[in-house]
Structures are given as structure tokens and as C-alpha cells.
A and B are shown apart, each in its own frame.
Chain A
Amino acid sequence: MENVTTAEQVSHAEHGHDEHHELSFLQSYVFSLDHKVIGIQYAITAMLFLLLGFTLMMIMRWQLAFPYTPIPVIGGLLGQNNAQFIAPEFYNSLGAMHGTIMVFLGVVPLAVGGFGNYVLPLQIGAPDMAFPRLNMASYWTFFCGGVVMFASFFVPGGAANSGWTSYAPLSVIATEGQTWWLVGMIFLITSSLLGSVNFIVTTLQLRAPGLSFMRLPFFVWAQLVTSFLLLLAFPPLEAAGVMQLMDRVADTSFFMPAGLVTGDGPLEISGGGSPLLWQHLFWFLAHPEVYVLILPAMGIVAEVLANNTRKPLWGYRVLVASVIFLGFMSFIVWAHHMFMTGMGTTMSSFFQTTTMIISVPSVVILSALLISLYGGSIRYPVPMLFALAFLPMFAIGGLTGLPLGLTAPDLHFHDTYYVIGHFHYVVAPGTIFALFAGIYYWYPKATGRVMSELLGKIHFWGSFIAIQFVFTPMFITGLAGMNRRLYDGGLEYAHLQEVVGWNATMSYGAWTLGFFQIFFIFNFFWSIRNGKKVDDNPWKATTLEWQAPSPPPHGNFTSPPEVHRGPYEYSVPGADKDFTMQGEADPAKA
């Protein structure tokens, strides 16, 4: 309990008193201890990285659509030796960095660092996070990781080019960029560890009076489970990252077997290591990481759905049980990423079975969210459109995981575009759409204004349609056997001649998708000053964050909130309005 006292003292000392004296610009906006400022810092940085990661892909898609033809306008900047198109090693850098940036610098920091930081303390009625200084350290460690990753593009040989998975021995013998990648990853992992401890303690200790676990908004549950995943899955990768770094700079051989011979002759290494050890350590994180991406998204979708159907979530208890079960199971499915490494019957049967089992809670969650719609009085503001789109998109992403989770069909699909289509449906029109829903939904809380509805709808429909053209053809080319990570998009594959044309379709889809993000970026900044002013609870929602002023001051609430009921008391029979807030005193008892 000592920690709690400390945390509260810090919160009160730093934040309660903040209202009475002026803080310098640096203290308020740069090295802030306020969870809301840190959340916004995380969100803005992450969105910039999302844009960067997406831009890398838009460049790659030119080479895939029109191999070896000059890239318009920027070709001279990107090509080497006077070529106007990108070189294979640069293509590999773009691919590796697209994955790394999207996952570790974009989606996770936005979903956990951004939304988690901003919304979670508000939803549990806390004045701040339990450890504000740790929170600031988490952001700045993340920021350093981002700087290292970004700088790596400019070192000799360019950024890391061994895939976001960085399989040894390729990564160990790769150019200098890989060393930067490893250092960057160590920063990012450390940042996540600092953040996750904070989320767990905050959720367990700083809940408002009356806010029992079964009264927590589903978003908080999702963040809590996510934090445990980060806390338990990241340390092995941090160790592995240091080991690979040592393999590169200190001539150890953790992942390097003896007897390797490259184009330059035999490698001077001690040998005795195992390339598969890296894969096990990597995927032991990277599979739970998938749920780190998806769980906060499910949390956001649940909040927005309940609010816009004007009824409670269907099967709240089942949802909570499923999300906890998913969290546990996600630790014992990792080797399904390694089915083609030469796995015997026993091990592959175990991992196929666990993979089939983990699909069940996913189906349960999706079903519960769908059933929640039934009987609602459904409104369709922009956040709801994005949240609704999440459901069928996540369904496609989840269902296409089935053939990949079984070894025999995986024989055909492993490392093809089918895999790319599968996980992008989960992450892009799935998670990222949910994150957009969250931005549109909580924007009025952070600014006191709503984003433009018209621009939002253009953004939604444009993105929703364009994104199908990016990812649906991946299933077609994947079924035909098109491999991923091909610099020429499979141009010279004998069995692909009928499907390579889809590459251009996907590229046009990606560029159109990029175009429609302009509406979002403009709307995001324009609405800060010009959006319609709204009251503290514009969506007529029930959870605690809507009880705080918009934007919430330091310490968040004008009076300490007290919780009297569950999170989604919409359309309660006999109530005078269609939402009853968690903090409203019970009229019967009053």
C-alpha cells in the first residue's frame, strides 16, 4: 500500500497544487507529468509515425505496381546510381521499417500510450496515473527509440533490412542499420515495460470508490490485460535483442551456428548458436503483441458501440472472461509462426490445438459485440461508423487466420500474401479503424469541440472503400502462391502470371487510401479551433470520463467521483433519460 500513498501524494502534490502556480512551458507541454499531456504526446508522435510507416509502403507499392519504372517526382531522391527507382536492398529496408514502425512506433503507442494514458485514468476516476514520473520516462524512452529508428535510415547501408522479424543469421550479418534497429527496439521495449507497470498499478489501486472490477468499462479491462501481456512478453525479446546486439558487435554466437559461408567466404565466428532460438524468443513476444494491438481496439469499439446503440453491451461478463482467457492463451500459440521450420507431429499438434482454442474467445467477443447491436436504437455518428466497420473487417482478418493456424494448409499459405492480407485486415481496417473511432469519440473530451462530421464521413467512406482494394487482392494473389517480401512483386514467378496484375490494383488502393487521410489530418487540426463547441458529455455517455470538464483540468475531476453502477446503463427501464451515468447518485437512496 505504500506505493499508493506515494502515488497519491505525487498526484496531489504535483497536480493538485499545479492549479495554484504557473508552470513553465517546458513543464506543462514537454516534460509534463500529467497523464493527459503524456497521452497526447504519445498520440501525436504515434500518428506521425503511422504516417511515416504508411508513406514507406506507398513508395514500395510503386515498385510493386510498376517494377523498374521511374518513380515520379521523388525518384531521383530514392534511387541509387542514377536509377529513378528503388534498389532491392532499399526495398528490404522499407519493408522492415514499415513493419517495425507500424507495430512498435505507431499502433501500440497510439492504442496503449495514447488512449491508455489519456482515457484510462479518467474512466476509473483517478486524478492521474499512479507513477507520473515513470509515465514521463516511458514517453521519453519511446521518443528516443523513435529517434534512433528514424536516424537509422541515414547510416551507411540504410535502415535495417532483414524484415521486422529480424531473423538470424541474416540480421546478424546485415548492414549497420540492424544495430540501430536493435538499440531502438531496446528503448521501445523499455518504454513499454515502464508504461505497463504503471497501467496495472493505476487500474488496481486508483479506482474511484464504488468502481468494482465488474463495473469497469470494457476498455479498462482491455488495457489491463494488454498491460500484463506487455509486461510478461516483452522481457524475453529485450533479452533476445541484447543477445543479437552482442552477436553483431561483440562476436558472440547466440544465434549463429558454426560453419556459415557467405559470398565473402567462411564467417569468422565461434558458432554453436541456434537461429531458431531467435525465432522462439521473437515470437514469444510477437504473438502476444498481436493481442496488444487488437485488445485496446476491441475496448474502444465496445465503448463506442454501447454509447451509440443506447443499450448495455450484451454479455459483459462473457466479454471480460474472454479477454482474460485470450490474454492467457496468447502466450502459448507463438510457434504457429514457425510451422515451416521443420516441426514434428507432437509440437505442431500442440500449437495447432492452442491456436484453434484461441479462436474461440475471439469468436465469442465478436459475436457478443454483434449481438449488442440487436435491440438498440442505433445512431451513426463518425466514431460509430469506424467502430461498426471494425466488426466485419476483424471478422475477415480472424477467419483467414484459420487456414494459417493449421500446419497442412499453411504449407501452401506460409509466407505468401495470404498472410499479409490476414494480419492487415486485423490491424489496418480492424485496429486502426478502431483507433480512428477512438480519436473521433474522445476528441471532444480533449478539446471541448467535436471534429467536423462531414469531413469525418468523407474520411470514413473513402478509407473504407479504398482499403478493400489494398487488402482483398492479397488473398487472391496469396491463394495463387505469391510470396511476400519480393522486390519485383513476383513478376518472374512462373505460376503467378495471371495474378501479378493485382499488384497495380493494390497500389492504386493504397494511394487512394493515402489521399483520404488528408481529410482526417485537416479535420484534426482545423477542429481544434473551429470545431463545434460542445458540453462535457456530447455523446450522452455513461462512463466517468464524461463527468469531467472538457478538457479536464489537472487532477481531472472537479469533485472526487463516486461510482454507483455498471458502465453501460443505457435505456434503463423507468429512467427519465436514456443514459444513467456511473457517477450519478441513486435517486432511491438519495
Chain B
Amino acid sequence: MQELLGLPVQASAHAAEIDQMIVILHWLMLALFVGWGIFFVYTLIRFRASANPKADYQGVKSHVSTYLEVAVALVEAVILVAFAIPAWTTRVNAFPPEDGATVVHLIAKQFAWHSVYAGPDGRFGRRDASLITPANEIGLDRSDPNGADDIYTINQLNLPVDTPVIVYLSSMDVIHSFAINSMRVKQDAIPGIETPVWFEPTMEGDFQINCSQLCGLGHYRMRGAVTVMNAGNFQNFLDEETARLAAD
């Protein structure tokens, strides 16, 4: 069923759990649809006017349908309580500790994804709208001691594999939505609200951020690259960027 549905690769730790639920639900949908379909086609043929000239005033007398409806409600209840609610709780409540995770501030702005890493000091500097220039689109304050070493990339999110990632998501203008389909990650970026998102990439390679909420005429091209690399390469990336900032 997984392959039949053609879901994208599972590039994060929680992707399999999401997909399992999608598969179970599609089995349920298929069973109901085929069941209804067989009954439907059978009645249309069996009770056509030429085969059954006199209709039965009473029709179906059994209560099988009631049991079936109760069964459907029960299955839905089980999926809801046993799968859906716990899975969501893990997504929004069970955040990993920050010191063992990669922490990124991801800022959406028409039509690009700006990512900021804290740098060697582990602290994020302040951002200020008054500092915004074409070269500094999100107003990073480099004069802030915490911000001097902050690593900043546009449309390129580098992440280490097999390590939890915590993204603090925000938007500077309109509502965007941060989605990495291959990692089953999706969260609206809403101006005025900073929303944390966490996930754990489990597969090295190149993936994509696709804006999933209509954000203007450039919505279709608001993409960012996601590169998942091993811990060594990720450290190299951080070191190179730190060295470059120091050289500036």
C-alpha cells in the first residue's frame, strides 16, 4: 500500500509513523468504498425495473447497516485515540533538549527562506527592522555581541543527519508555510508569532523546502534547499562560515 500510494521518501525519524497512519486510513477507505461499491452495483442491476417490476414498499429490514456504522465509528475512534493524538503530542509537546539538537531560526520573507544559526557562542543576536537593507534582508544586528558570529544563509538549510533539529519559525510579512515533504514536516510561518518545530533527519542528501501557503505572486518559486550531511561535514560548514565571518 505504501508503494501504491506513492508517498515521498521517508527522510525523518517520524515519517514512518505518519505514513503508517496514512496507509491504515487508506485501507479503511478502500474497504468502505469497495463494500459500498459492490452493494451499489448489485442493487442497480438486480433491481432494475425490467428485472423487478414491482418495488418492495418495505425495502431492507435487517439492521446490518447500523452495526456497520457503529463499526466504522469505532475504527475511527481507535485511530484517533491510539494513533493520531499521540503522534501529534510528540510533534508539538515532546521537544528534545536544545543542547543536543541543532537549533535554527528560520525566517520566511517574500519569497525566500532565511536561516540563522547561533554560531560558536550558542546565542542568537538581535534582529531589527530598521537595519534592513538589500544586503541584510532580515535586519541582523552584527554589532550585538551575540550576533557577531551568527551564521546566516539564504534558501539553504544545512542539517546534520541523525540529530534532532529545532526550528524556530517566523515570518516578516505574510503567512508562509514551512514544508519539507520528504521529512513530513509542515508548519505555517505566521507573522507576529514564533513557532517551534522539531524533527530528526535520518537520510543524507538533498531535499527541498516548499512554501505551502499562498504568499503572493512568487509563491510557486519560494523554495529552499535542505542539505542533510554527516556530523563532520556539518561541523566543517559551521567552521568555514565562522572563519569567513571573522575574516570580514
- Which residues of A does B touch, CB under 8 Å? 87-89, 92, 161-163, 167, 169-170, 173, 257-263, 265-266, 274-276, 309-312, 314, 340-345, 348-349, 352-353, 356, 359-360, 363-364, 366-368, 370-380, 388, 391-392, 395-396, 399-400, 402-403, 406-409, 411-412, 414-416, 476, 479-481, 483, 485-488, 490, 492-495, 498-499, 570-573, 578
CA–CA, A415 and B84, complex, Å: 19
Give chain A nearest CB distance to B60 CB in angstroms: 5
By the criterion of a CB under 8 Å from any partner CB, how many residues of chain B are at the interface?
A: 92
- Which residues of B does A touch, CB under 8 Å? 5-9, 17-19, 21-22, 25-26, 28-29, 32-33, 36-37, 39-40, 43-44, 47-49, 52-60, 65, 68-69, 72-73, 76-77, 79-80, 83-85, 87-89, 91-93, 109-110, 129-130, 132, 139, 172-175, 177, 179, 181-182, 184-188, 190-193, 195, 206-208, 210-221, 223
Q: Are B6 and A341 in contact (CB under 8 A)?
A: no
Chain A residues positioned under 8 Å from B193 (CB to CB): 257, 276, 342
Q: Are B219 and A275 in contact (CB under 8 A)?
A: no
Chain A residues positioned under 8 Å from B56 (CB to CB): 311, 375-376, 571
CA–CA, A176 and B174, complex, Å: 17
Give chain B nearest CB distance to A341 CB in angstroms: 5
In the complex formed, the residue of B with least CB distance to A67 is B220
Q: Are B214 and A170 in contact (CB under 8 A)?
A: yes
Q: Are B55 and A374 in contact (CB under 8 A)?
A: no
In-complex Cβ contact of A378 among B25, B32, B44, B59 (8 A): B44
Chain A residues positioned under 8 Å from B188 (CB to CB): 340-342
Given A345-B85, A399-B33, A402-B28, A363:B186 Cβ within 8 A? no
Q: Are B54 and A377 in contact (CB under 8 A)?
A: yes
Give chain A nearest CB distance to B65 CB in angstroms: 5
Give chain B nearest CB distance to A211 CB in angstroms: 22
CA–CA, A407 and B85, complex, Å: 8
Given A342-B193, A375-B47, A378-B44, A415:B52 Cβ within 8 A? no
Q: Are A411 and B184 in contact (CB under 8 A)?
A: yes
Q: Are A378 and B47 in contact (CB under 8 A)?
A: yes
CA–CA, A260 and B173, complex, Å: 5
Q: Are A392 and B36 in contact (CB under 8 A)?
A: yes
Q: A88-B218, A266-B129 are in contact. List 17 more A-B contacts (CB 8 A).
A: A88-B220, A314-B59, A342-B187, A363-B72, A367-B36, A370-B39, A376-B55, A377-B54, A406-B79, A407-B91, A409-B21, A480-B6, A480-B7, A485-B219, A487-B217, A495-B8, A571-B55
Chain B residues positioned under 8 Å from A360 (CB to CB): 69, 72-73, 76
Given A345-B89, A364-B69, A402-B28, A262:B173 Cβ within 8 A? yes
Given A356-B80, A399-B33, A412-B7, A391:B190 Cβ within 8 A? no
Q: Are B40 and A408 in contact (CB under 8 A)?
A: no
CA–CA, A89 and B214, complex, Å: 11
Q: Are A374 and B59 in contact (CB under 8 A)?
A: yes
Q: Are A345 and B88 in contact (CB under 8 A)?
A: yes
Chain B residues positioned under 8 Å from A494 (CB to CB): 206-208
Given A311-B57, A367-B69, A571-B57, A409:B44 Cβ within 8 A? no
In the complex formed, the residue of A with least CB distance to B110 is A263
Given A345-B92, A412-B22, A571-B56, A378:B48 Cβ within 8 A? yes
Name the residue in B110, B187, B216 with the highest tally of chain A Cβ atoms < 10 Å from its Cβ. B216
Chain A residues positioned under 8 Å from B18 (CB to CB): 408-409, 411-412
CA–CA, A371 and B64, complex, Å: 11
Give chain A nearest CB distance to B181 CB in angstroms: 3
Give chain A nearest CB distance to B137 CB in angstroms: 9
Chain B residues positioned under 8 Å from A344 (CB to CB): 92-93
Chain A residues positioned under 8 Å from B185 (CB to CB): 411
CA–CA, A488 and B29, complex, Å: 31
Listed A/B pairs (14) with beta-carbon separation below 8 Å: A167-B214, A260-B172, A260-B191, A275-B190, A311-B56, A340-B212, A375-B52, A375-B56, A378-B49, A392-B40, A402-B76, A409-B84, A411-B186, A483-B212
Q: Are A402 and B29 in contact (CB under 8 A)?
A: yes
In the complex formed, the residue of A with least CB distance to B182 is A495
